[in-house]
Amino acid sequence: MHWRDRRWWTWGLLALVLAGCDRPGEKAEAGRIAAAEQRPGDPVRGRDALLNRAVVTCGPPHAAYAARAAAAEAPALNPAGRTGRNAELPYMLTAHVDPAGVELVTSNCLGCHAAPLEGELVIGLGNEFLDLTEDPLVAIEALGAGLAPGPERAAWRRWADRVGRVADYMMTDTVGVNSANNLTLALMAHRDPQTLAWSDAPLIAPPPTRPLPVSVPPWWHLAKKHALFYNGEGRGDHVRYMMLASTTCTDSVAEARAIDAWFVDVRAYLATLRPPPYPYPIDTELARVGARVFADRCASCHGTQGADGRYPNKLVALGKVGTDPALARAAFADADRFLDWFHDSFYGELGRSRPGLGYVAPPLDGIWATAPYLHNGAVPTLADLLESGARPAFWRHQRSGQALPEYDTERLGWRYRRLAAGKSAAMSWEERKHIYDTSLHGYGNQGHDFGDRLDPAARRALLEYLKTL
Amino acid sequence: MGGRGRHRLMALAAAWLLGGCEAPSAPPAPTADALVEGVALVATGVAPGALRLPDDHAAHPRQGGELWRLQAKLEVAGDRPQLFTLGIVRLNLGRPSRPQSSAWSSDALLWGWSARLGPDGPGLAQRRARATLGLAGAALSPARVWVRDWGLALGPGRPPWRLVFEDAEGTRLVLGGSRPALGLARLGETLGVEATTAGLQGYLLSGLTVAGRLVVAGRARPVTGQAWFEHLWGGGEGGTGAGAGLRLTRLTLQLDDARTLACVELRRAEAGGRPIPGCVLVDAAAQVHRFRRRELRLEPLEGGARPARWRLEIPAVALAVELTPWDDALETIAPGVAVRVAGRAEGRVIEGWGWVESIGPGQRRRGEGE
């Protein structure tokens, strides 16, 4: 079309006008996601900040925390570089002194984004065993119950009331699945986007109180990914998205700006993370065969490895990938008010949130370690992922108490038990919460059948290759 | 409960001893404290000891406070039903002694009260005695607790239960039933925590039938009825006194379709926070169903620290009922408020009766200035 064509002007103007009205509803098309420049930061300072600085600025007073028997135990798995009081706290807690001088114990990113592997804490590995099914309210009230009126009680109250408001948006009905994105939406609903001031009553309609299940993605994809989140909506500057879910008590733009100033370092650190190598033997001959299968069947979406590797950053349409559509659909169709909020806020100044009706084909680096698979964690092992007919409809991890399951080097994933029936057949809450039931809304294990047409030998070889990533 | 808690118990016990013959003006606060602490400690996740019956029918000398209680709706031929409650509290006055096999030797006070509400109007009776004087005590085998002429025989160790209350005037109530004992830990679990603690333990025997005779002012009348019995102990070693600042409300309801509901609501005594309710439903077939905060709605329909009007809804069993005071007179003489239950369950009209008790700091009687 020639630029002097009248119709060009007409359509152009119309498009401009529509774009104006349409701004918040801006959605992404399937396909490649363009790179976005990230602000530079110092990864060494970033690691120190991640381990020692509080991003959540409210929590129970240290005194109340220390009165609990469990606090007396030496913290397990604490990574090197935790300094001062933090060296005494479990890795998922960070000490913080509030403006009134009260020392607080606050939660940090590592509760979800770090997990033990082979007896060591791996920073960046998603915690797929977190139990968000428990009602936190009793424990919260108990922590404050012994505090006399004064600054400590006031600090406890601020945290208790805040968490109390959002607890229902975080509680899941299955151990292991996460709800952080639903929490983010709940925090938005309670804040003025311009000032970030907190409101006890929601200012826009809050998200549903039954969060859709999500698995926690590993941080070591960050160096490759152009957009954050499963549906690729996190376009532009990554730092402020990362902060968003965790600024439970950041009630002013000034405070958010102060966190942003050091969070560029945290992002820079996260972008240096690499996956842990597969710790068991690998049949390198077989893996070489598998590499060819991968190049043939998988690389167009997931990219290639090695020095000359390239990662295409593709958002794959729901119709093509076929996995459970609920998460992508909810963010695409039922979340415009949150897109508006984001774009009107400090957090949206440097980015554009663009949900797509599909899922990003993630890099597969360290894929052996990040079971269970798919955005909702519905598929327990890689062997199951490559053969959709073999996936269990109902399953639970094979573990006793808090111990982690064993790693299954045949199927690549944590050992699980296939069950004959789902949650509705379970007799107790305790039993019910451990069952992954793919018949529930958002928990589906369908789709991604790209491995189905492989013959068993090729599939075996491909599995072997996946160990090397 | 630590030293601080024990001082509180002793002060209260001393106040009662010195209080003469007046009706006590407060509910048995030591048990109340123990209850609140028990629930608060639930959060620390210490597993409770397993229930050991028949031993647990008897006293727990290492614990600071203890309560045996039965609550009943009694039918008298040709008259309106009456509500009847009987409680016996044991308080340690000295240091808790080592556990003993048959009774206990520490200095303890037993205080019993009974309250009646019915056609004859409200009636209160009470008995008090120091255990060391032999006028009160608790024996293990057969399990029995007594204060002066009041005696409560407990047993056996497993269903069918047979409990007998007798006094010197000739009242004799025999309670029987065959549902399993409900450990208090189950109720703690409804609050969303895994297990309760050494802070408070106990059990509830629900769905009991009553037969016997009630003697009022020398006049004996045969009675039948429904009842539950509970036995709670706590405030011993291992607690931390962490319950301050919380108010616990217990609602125990007997529905006329033979189901029993035991609910709790924990809330901050000061304004703010979110109330945390939980319920256990024991059905006619003795199946136990637990409902947590997000599975039910429980809300007071009036203000104040000790509301008696409540609404309870449990959608999973299509139950929606309202509680109203049975009679305003009873609450002034018995701990808690007797209530009528009315509403619908699975489309049918349902009625019942029960007790509501709120315990915790700053508690006031209903109707007092808030």
Q: At what angle do helices B29-42 and A137-145 cross, to 10 degrees?
A: 120
Rounded-to-integer distance, Cα B27 and Cα B247, Å: 14
B189 touches chain A (CB under 8 A): yes
Report whether A270 contacts A46 (CB < 8 A).
yes
Report whether B343 contacts B322 (CB < 8 A).
yes
Tokens representing residue B174 in the block: 């025999």
Rounded-to-integer distance, Cα B79 and Cα B169, Å: 22
Chain B residues near residue A134 by CB distance under 8 angstroms: 192-194
CA distances from A152 to A53, A59, B259, B305 (A): 20, 10, 44, 25
In a domain, B195, yes or no: yes
Chain B residues near residue A141 by CB distance under 8 angstroms: 40, 43, 246, 266, 268, 273, 276
Q: Which of B212, B234, B256 is the last residue before a domain boundary?
A: B234
CA distance B127 to chain A (A): 35
Q: Which of B240, B244, B273 sits opposite A160 (nearest CB)?
A: B273
Whether B185 and B47 share a structural domain: yes
Query: Scanning the structure block, which residue is given the tokens 């469990």?
Result: A70
pLDDT value for A437: 97
Highest mean pLDDT: which range of A298-307, A435-444, B114-123, B215-224: A435-444
Q: Element (H or E) spanning A413, and its range?
A: strand A413-414
Residues 6+ apart with CB under 8 A from B349: B342, B343
Residue B154 pLDDT > 60, yes or no?
Answer: yes
In a domain, A346, yes or no: no
Q: Which of B42, B45, B242 sits opposite A146 (nearest CB)?
A: B242
In a domain, A63, yes or no: yes
If one compares B181 and B184, the residue with the highest pLDDT of the two is: B181
B42 touches chain A (CB under 8 A): yes
pLDDT value for B25: 34
CA distance A426 to chain B (A): 12
- Mean pLDDT, rounded, for A421-432: 86
Whether B270 and B220 share a structural domain: no
Residue B134 pLDDT > 90, yes or no?
Answer: no
Confidence of residue A442 (pLDDT cuts 50, 70, 90): very high
In a domain, B367, yes or no: no
Q: Which of A146, A171, A429 sits opposite B244 (nearest CB)?
A: A146
pLDDT value for B239: 38
In a domain, B369, yes or no: no
Residue A56 pLDDT > 90, yes or no?
Answer: yes
Q: Which of B204, B234, B264 is the last residue before a domain boundary?
A: B234
Sign of the dihedral defined by the CA atoms of residues A161, A165, A170, A171, in that order:
positive
In a domain, B368, yes or no: no
Confidence of residue B285 (pLDDT cuts 50, 70, 90): confident
Whether B11 and B31 share a structural domain: yes
Chain A residues near residue B43 by CB distance under 8 angstroms: 138-139, 141-143
> How open is the CA angle A22-A26-A29, to the nearest 5 degrees?
135
Q: Which of B42, B240, B272 sits opposite A138 (nearest CB)?
A: B42
Chain B residues near residue A209 by CB distance under 8 angstroms: 294
Q: How many CB pairs lie under 8 A apart between chains A and B?
A: 74
Q: Which of B234, B261, B276 is the last residue before a domain boundary?
A: B234
Q: What is the DSSP code (8-state) at residue B188?
A: H
Structural domain total, chain B: 2
Flag if A135 and B192 touch (Cβ within 8 Å): yes
B298 touches chain A (CB under 8 A): no
Flag if A141 and B276 touch (Cβ within 8 Å): yes
Q: What pLDDT digit, counting tens, does each position of B191-213 carry?
A: 765 443 445 678 889 999 999 99
Chain B residues near residue A144 by CB distance under 8 angstroms: 245, 268
Chain B residues near residue A143 by CB distance under 8 angstroms: 43
Task: Tell me how crowded residue B90 is: count the other CB atoms within 10 A of its CB.
Answer: 28
pLDDT value for A19: 39
Bridge partners (DSSP) listed for residue B220: B215
Q: What pLDDT digit, counting tens, does each position of A245-281 carry?
A: 778 999 999 999 999 999 999 999 999 999 999 999 9
CA distance B248 to chain A (A): 12
Task: Tell me how crowded residue A308 is: count the other CB atoms within 10 A of its CB.
Answer: 6
In a domain, A199, yes or no: no
Q: Which residue of B has its CA nearest to A69?
A: B44
Flag if B43 and A143 touch (Cβ within 8 Å): yes
Flag if B274 and A164 touch (Cβ within 8 Å): yes
Chain A residues near residue B274 by CB distance under 8 angstroms: 137, 164, 167
Range of the domain at A142: 57-107+134-171
Rounded-to-integer distance, Cα B365 and Cα B306, Å: 7
Report whether B49 contacts B198 (CB < 8 A).
yes
Structural domain total, chain A: 1
In a domain, A184, yes or no: no
Whether B220 and B326 share a structural domain: no
Q: Which residue of B has its CA nearest to A65?
A: B44
Q: Which of A135, A145, A164 sits opposite B246 (nearest CB)?
A: A145
Range of the domain at B28: 3-234
Residue B125 phi/psi, 5-degree rounding, is -135, 150
Confidence of residue B5 (pLDDT cuts 50, 70, 90): very low
How far apart, in Å, do the first and last CA atoms of chain B sit?
29
In a domain, B41, yes or no: yes
Three-class secondary structure of residue A79 per DSSP: coil
- Mean pLDDT, rounded, for B338-361: 89
Whether B293 and B271 share a structural domain: yes
Q: Which residue of B has its CA nearest to A71?
A: B44
- Mean pLDDT, rounded, for B21-31: 35
pLDDT value for B94: 60
The full DSSP string for B142-178 is: TTEEEETTEEEE---SSSSEEEEEE-TTS-EEEEEE-
**A279 cis-preceded (ω within 30 degrees of 0):** no
The whole-model pTM stands at 0.84
Whether B222 and B201 share a structural domain: yes
In a domain, B208, yes or no: yes
Rounded-to-integer distance, Cα A62 and Cα B256, Å: 50
CA distance B244 to chain A (A): 5
Flag if B273 and A135 touch (Cβ within 8 Å): no
CA distances from A46 to A123, A239, A263 (A): 13, 12, 7
Q: What is the DSSP code (8-state) at residue A119?
A: T
Flag if B292 and A143 touch (Cβ within 8 Å): no
Q: Element (H or E) spanning A112, and its range?
A: helix A110-113
Residue B13 pLDDT > 50, yes or no?
Answer: no
Whether B209 and B325 share a structural domain: no
Rounded-to-integer distance, Cα B31 and Cα A236, Å: 60
Q: Which residue of A has its CA nearest to B272?
A: A161
Flag if A138 and B39 touch (Cβ within 8 Å): yes
Whether B146 and B13 share a structural domain: yes
Confidence of residue A2 (pLDDT cuts 50, 70, 90): very low
Longest distance between any two alpha carbons in chain B, whole Å? 56
Q: Which of A139, A164, A168 sits opposite B294 (nearest CB)?
A: A168
**Residues in chain A whose beta carbon is closer than 8 A to a beta carbon of chain B?**
67-70, 134-139, 141-147, 157, 160-161, 164, 167-168, 171, 209, 429
Whether B256 and B129 share a structural domain: no
pLDDT value for A265: 98
In a domain, A101, yes or no: yes
Best interface-test mutation with B: which of A133, A141, A165, A169 has the largest number of B CBs within 10 A? Answer: A141
Q: What is the DSSP code (8-state) at residue A297?
A: H
pLDDT value for B97: 46
CA distance A8 to chain B (A): 57
Whether B79 and B153 share a structural domain: yes
Whether B224 and B277 share a structural domain: no
B269 touches chain A (CB under 8 A): no
CA distance A180 to chain B (A): 19
Predicted ipTM beyond 0.90 = no
Task: Tell me how crowded residue B352 is: count the other CB atoms within 10 A of its CB.
Answer: 23
Chain B residues near residue A60 by CB distance under 8 angstroms: none
pLDDT value for B193: 54
Q: Say which CATH number the domain at B348 has.
A: 2.40.370.10
Residue A20 pLDDT > 60, yes or no?
Answer: no
Bridge partners (DSSP) listed for residue B172: B166, B213
Flag if B273 and A164 touch (Cβ within 8 Å): yes
Report whether A149 contacts B361 (CB < 8 A).
no
Three-class secondary structure of residue A158 per DSSP: helix
- Mean pLDDT, rounded, for A145-164: 91
In a domain, B149, yes or no: yes
In a domain, B240, yes or no: no
Flag if B246 and A141 touch (Cβ within 8 Å): yes
Mean pLDDT of chain A: 91
If one compares A248 and B184, the residue with the highest pLDDT of the two is: A248
> Which of A280-284, A321-325, B274-278, B296-300 is predicted least confidently?
B274-278
Whether B169 and B264 share a structural domain: no
pLDDT value for A308: 87
If one compares B246 and A152, the residue with the highest pLDDT of the two is: A152
The full DSSP string for A6-46 is: HHHHHHHHHHHHHHHHHGGG--BPSEE----------HHHH
CA distance A55 to chain B (A): 24
- Mean pLDDT, rounded, for B121-147: 86
Report whether B198 contacts B45 (CB < 8 A).
no
As to burial, measured by CB atoms within 10 angstroms (0-12 exposed, 13-18 middle, 19+ buried), residue B21 is: exposed
Report whether B109 contacts B93 (CB < 8 A).
yes
B192 touches chain A (CB under 8 A): yes
Longest distance between any two alpha carbons in chain A, whole Å? 78
Chain A residues near residue B297 by CB distance under 8 angstroms: none
Q: Which of B194, B273, B292 sits opposite A141 (nearest CB)?
A: B273
Best interface-test mutation with A: which of B41, B186, B249, B268 has the largest number of A CBs within 10 A? Answer: B268
Residue A118 pLDDT > 90, yes or no?
Answer: no
CA distance A401 to chain B (A): 12
